[in-house]
Amino acid sequence: MTLITKQSSIVDTMRNLAVGLVTILGILLVLCSCNEPVEPKPDGNQMIVSEVEMLNSIMDYIRQNHPDAASSIKDDIHWVKTSSAKKIGYTGATYTSNGWTVAIGHAVTAEIIHEVKAEYSNQEIVWQGTITSGIITENNFAKK
């Protein structure tokens, strides 16, 4: 066996170990993430918008742009992740708080566009939009 063949074999082994480790970590993340309070994540040196920041930003947007819905949004919102899903090419999660259910998901692409649907009290209020690079865009709003 030549030196190049040995190096190639070592690289293949390391790659397989890394893939296995990432798969195990992904499974553990999904199994451990449901029905837990969501806490803000420190962003370090990266431009990361946490789930809590996104959820609260959506509620602020609805409160500011739809005064008729503002009374349904409490000041102290404590989100709970009730489900999460990771499929090939798409990841998403659902959160609840004070009568609101918010589903956030995104395709796995270079530019992440979060698709958001926020519902209040059995679809009494339904808001749909996107978040791209921290900018909220409303697609639809309906109140019964």
Residue-wise pLDDT tens digits, 84-133? 999 999 999 999 999 999 999 999 888 889 999 999 998 899 999 999 98
Mean pLDDT on 35-54 = 53
Look at strands 113-120 and 125-132 and give their pairing.
Answer: antiparallel
Backbone angles phi, psi at 27, to 5 degrees: -65, -45
d(Cα 77, Cα 68) in Å, to the nearest integer? 19
Q: Is the pLDDT of residue 35 over 90?
A: no
Q: In the numeric block, which tokens belong to residue 112?
A: 């992440």
pLDDT of residue 104: 95
- The pTM for the full model equals 0.65
Confidence check: pLDDT of 30 > 50: no
Q: What value, to the nearest 5°, has the Cα angle with vertex 27 and ends 24 and 32?
A: 120
Closest by Cα among 119, 121, 124, 118 to 144: 124
Instruction: Quote the pLDDT of residue 23.
Output: 53
Other residues' Cβ atoms within 10 Å of the Cβ of residue 59: 24
